[in-house]
Each structure stands twice: as C-alpha cells, then as structure tokens.
Amino acid sequence: MKFKLLFTLTTVFFLSGINFINAQRIWKVTDDAVQTWYYQGGDEFTSPQPDTTFWQSSYPWGRNLFCNKEQQFYSDWNNYELKNGILSLIAKKEIVTNKVLSWEDANYALKCNDEVVGRNEQTFNYSSGMIFSKRKFHYGYYETRFMSDAGKGLWPAFWLYAGVENEEIDIFEIKGERNKDIHVDVHCKSGCNNYKTTLGLVRKNWGDYLTTSAGWQEGFNVIGLEWQPGYLIWYLNGERDCLLEG
C-alpha cells in the first residue's frame, strides 16, 4: 500500500532592493506600491536525483517525531520518486526496524518532557519520505505546487521551523480523511497576543481548517506564504486565503 504527496516545485523569493542579474522575479502590486521579489533559493526538481546539497531526508532531531506518537520511520531517501519535474514523497505500509536518532546507540532512552517513552531502536509499521532544507531562510515568499492522496492517518505538511518566537509556521497541513480541507497555523514559543482563548483564560494556537471545493488528490494546486515582520499572508492558487497580523 502506497500513498503519495507530490511536489512539482518549491521556490523561495526574498523581498530585496538588490537587482540580481538574470534572476527570476515576481511583483506584488497594491493600491499604493509595487514590490519586487527576487528568486533567492529553491528547487524545480529537474535533476534525476534529489539535490542533497539543499535537502536532507529527515529532521535534524531524528527520523521519527516520537513525542507526537507518529507511526512512520522517515527513510534515508528510500521513499521518493523523482520524474518529469515531480518529486513524490511516498508513505508505505511495511515493517522497518531502525534507530530514531542515528547518532545514539540502540538502547539510548528517548524522552519527552523528561519522561522515558522508549528505546532508540524501534520497529515501525510504516515508512515515509520527507525533505528538510539544509539552508536557512527568514522573511520572504515561499511557494510550492502540490497534490496529495486521501487516506486515514495521512498528515502531509509544508511548514517552516522559525527557531525564534514563531517556532513553527504551517503553510499547510492536510488530514488525509479531510482531503477537501487545509489547515494553516502558527505556533508561538512564548505565546501570541492574538491566540484564541476559551472564556478569556485558556490560550490555543492561532490557526484553523479552511474548506475548499475539491480534494487535494484531484489535481495540482499552488500554495504560497508571504512572511514579513508583523504579518503572514497565505495564498492559494494566486488568491489571498487568510491573513495573520501581530
């Protein structure tokens, strides 16, 4: 059994006053200004193999997010196809025994909130592919063209790890059994002023599901994020989808 998340391009643009020679560019036109964005880094997936100078095949903190109780092992470039400018990240139902943290021994104790949750070498019922950028970016415009299979238990995502107050910015998360919806979110390490609250007391992450007219497996869509000081804007197929200010 296989499920696929397909990307045709992942591009990053930075807002800049510097005119890079022969650089790709896009323009943002508003009522009172025209902003020029120059192509700073990305991948069009036109090479026969993944660009390992740009991407690695796991998170820096391991090949399974065990504190999230995820069931898959992120393989070392075994769960992908790259063909005709399309990168397919593939989830498989298969037995895999391997170490979550490759740099520790098999019996190393994995901990979540100082509580031991298992040993480093584990047996997983699923394997999956993923890519994580080796390069670091900050404010700018991020975009990908994608489609995703439907299926219970799938949770494909395209997200940024900011490493500052906005610890994680979810450009999209898709729950496989809700394949017509898309979830956008921002996680703030020390709390966001515009977090949702319950009775004014309990804070929740900003973010929610947005409902679309068709499933993500029915064709390619383009999603983008403009990240600037004080605001985030999501775009779906060129249309502004939602805005977070703060």
C-alpha 166/C-alpha 169 separation (Å) is 7
Check: pTM over 0.75? Answer yes or no.
Answer: yes
User: Are residues 157 and 170 in contact, defined by beta-carbon separation less than 8 angstroms?
Assistant: yes
pLDDT given at position 39: 80
Q: How far apart are the first and last CA of the chain?
A: 43
Q: What is the mean pLDDT of the chain?
A: 83
Place of tokens 């990307």: 7
Is the confidence at residue 6, as pLDDT, over 50?
Answer: yes
Q: What is the pLDDT of residues 164-194, one digit of tens each?
A: 555 788 999 999 999 899 999 887 665 566 5
What pLDDT digit, counting tens, does each position of 198-222 carry? 555 555 556 788 888 889 999 999 9
Using one digit for the tens of pLDDT, what is the confidence trace for 71-111? 999 999 999 999 988 999 999 999 999 999 999 999 999 99
